Structure 1
Amino acid sequence: MTLLKCATHVVADLDNAIARYESWMDYRTVERGEVPSDLAAAWDAPASANRSYAVLQPASGAEVFLRFVEGDPVPDYLPIRTYGWAAIELCVTDVEAVNAKMLQSPFEVIGPPKPLDGFATVKPMQVRGADLETVYLTQILQPGPDTGLPQPQSLIDRPFIMVLACPDLRKTAQWVKDVLDLPMIDPVAIRYSMIEKAFGLPETTKIELTTARGGGQVFLELDQYPDAATERPRHEGALPPGVAITTMVYPDFDRLESHWSSAPVVRAGAVYGGRRTGVLTTPEGALLEVVEGGEL
């Protein structure tokens, strides 16, 4: 079981984003509406109130969602250059077949399928969409409890890892341990082509990362970003551009009592399911929405 529940991305045109993911990622829309003002306030984004949103579900039927919220483009925003949620990673059954599909799609292939340095359990590729969204599409070569990786049930399945760009990897990893009590691997240094390209780094550069596991599956990745990374620009009072929110489930709300940036309230809808939901803020200021439930 994964603790990951939803990845939220800000888009300029909701209908276009929906069409892109329904046509090419085989997702389907399960909910549409406008962001309630109290939810926008919980996100510390009052300017995002009443903006249109949609929740999409993968073809597998897994209840781990993508959510798109309309927002105004931020001219100075560049993907994979700023701190915060950097990318959405979807698991796939056949990355070569997905690559062939993406080459015919409106998505730009920015990283073709290839083995990942230091991780023989996966084979990823990367695409970028019209809203500058960075999506990793990763074939799971060794699913199961030993690796903490899922077995996808559709060609393109659910989000399974969310990537957080950190100015201080060890500080954020310690925060995850202290606040959420989740086990993390020791940081490892690998060649990381997406970060190399974004920052113009030499191919010999090694980037440190670590991952967190919950509910028996890996679902968070923390990346150490170069010194040239910056805070993410945003419109005042609005959700940040790119990946704005990660939503997870977590069973022990008593443990989180002193850490909330927005206290839990009961929320309805596909993502929340009528359960208590609060908001945490990571050390780099990223929004981590927490829905009560699941098992560690």
Structure 2
Amino acid sequence: MRHGAILCGTVNTPVFDLSLGDYLAELAMRVVEEGRVSPDLARSWGAPAQVGCRFAVLAPREGGSGGFLRLVEGSRVEGYRSLSTYGWAAFEMTVRDAFALHARIDRAAFRVLGAPKPVPGFANFIHFQVEGRAGEVLYLNTVLESRMAGLELPVAEAEVDSIFIAVLAAEDRAATLRFHVDALGFEEGESFTFPYSMINQSFGLAEDHATTLTMTKVGAMPAAEIDQYPQAARHRPLSPGELPPGNALLTFAHDDLDSVRAPFLEPPTRRDGPLYGGRRVATLVGPSEERIELVEC
């Protein structure tokens, strides 16, 4: 529970039961809390239409470093396609063995977008990508070397462990970076430019087309990867009054909500449960339409 730590990623799914079954069976997770979205929580997310919708908070079945993933029941959104719109594009989770997980994962539950491989220019991890039934994208990473460009990458303590970086598709990378630094109090990390296969495939770009991204961090702990998306990217379609489809919302720990230099959707409120622990919680929206929930630590 440190400032800038990712506590949870939320997936908005129109097929709640199927998604829940997939995470339990294929990603070795368990339910630690379930219920229905309360009116005040829905308002805090800017999602009043999801009052009464089911949710489930998940954690690794055995072990793990303490983070969560949350599923929320939502509506199907026509025209939504993953990796093509602004906002949270993917959650990166540490896994014990990317090759073994890739070999056994049910392709009907999670569509495999790429086989396990190192990222060009990085020898620190092996990862592959999957898309779930809600259009959410997960990068599943096995960390080989924990130190990278001034960052400390976590080694998985469970078969599928916590989210340690979230990928943010930005319309204006510089403006989004400044928001995360100036408004949230995170730090600017390294920038990288290289051919990004997921983006190139999604937009039909040449294999050698290069994307620039910038990491945010707190000390040596990574937070977000802010990608400059191509001009062909679009604003994410929404069902009125709901969270964005797919990768919907990211929850960070924050050391002082009163210091946040951006408006919250609703005033901070103390919330209970495994994720919140009786702490003050509030949500805001960033320049790339990313919904950010902060839990005061």
What is the rounded CA distance, in whole Å, between the counterparts of 1:248 and 1:22 in structure 2?
24
Tell me the SS of whatever aligns to 1:79. coil
| Residue among 216, 235, 241 paired with 1:237 | 241
CA gap of 1:111–1:273, structure 2 versus 1, over 3 A, is same
Structure 1 distance, partners of 2:194, 2:49, is: 39
Distance in 1 (CA, whole Å) between partners of 2:107 and 2:54 is 29
1:147 counterpart residue number: 151
Per-residue CA shift, 1:237-283, capped at 9, x if unaligned?
11111111100111122311654332211011121111000112111
- The 8 Å contact of residues 167 and 227 in structure 2, kept in 1 or not, is answered as yes
2:68 corresponds to: 65
Equivalences for residues 40-189 of structure 1 within 5 A: 40-59=42-61, 60-102=63-105, 106-143=109-146, 146-189=150-193
1:39 alignment partner, one of 38, 41, 44: 41
Q: Partner of 1:20 in structure 2?
A: 22
**1:284 partner letter:** S
Structure 1 counterpart of 2:202, one-letter code: A
Moved more, 2-11 or 179-188: 179-188
Shift of 1:180: 2.1
Q: CA deviation at 1:103?
A: 5.5
Quote the RMSD (CA, aligned, Å).
Answer: 1.7
Match of 2:268 in 1: 264
- Look up the SS of the partner of 1:254 in the other structure: helix
Contact 1:121 1:147 in 2 (8 A): no
- Number of aligned residue pairs: give it: 293
- Cα distance in 1 for residues equivalent to 2:284 and 2:116: 34
In 2 relative to 1, CA 153–74 (structure 1 residues): closer, same or farther, beyond 3 Å? Answer: same
Helix, strand or coil: the match of 1:160? strand
User: Conserved in 1, the CA contact under 8 Å of 2:146 and 2:154?
Assistant: yes
Query: Any stretches of 5+ residues in structure 2 without a counterpart?
Result: none
- Find the aligned partners of 1:171 and 1:147 in 2 and give their Cα distance: 22
- Alpha-carbon displacement from aligned partner over 1:98-157 (angstroms, at most 9, x marks no partner): 111226663221110111123221211001122222111011111259531112111211
Q: Which moved more, 1:30-39 or 1:9-18?
A: 9-18
Q: Secondary structure at the match of 1:228?
A: coil
2:226 counterpart SS class:
strand
**SS in structure 1 of the partner of residue 40 of structure 2:** helix
Q: Quick one: which amino acid aligns to residue 123 of structure 1?
A: I
Q: Distance in 2 between matches of 1:267 and 1:58?
A: 22
What is the rounded CA distance, in whole Å, between the counterparts of 2:107 and 2:32 in structure 1?
26
Task: After TM superposition, give the deviation of residue 13 of structure 1 in Å.
Answer: 2.3
> Residue 276 of structure 1 is aligned with which of 280, 288, 293?
280
Work out whether residues 184 and 261 of structure 2, in 8 Å CA contact, stay in contact via their aligned partners in 1: no
Quick check: 1:179–1:259 contact (8 Å CA) kept in 2? no
8 Å contact from structure 1 (residues 148, 213) kept in 2: no
Match of 2:289 in 1: 285
Q: Which residue identity does 1:106 align to in structure 2?
A: A
Alignment of 1:191 with 2:212, yes or no, is no
DSSP-derived class of the 1:114 partner: strand
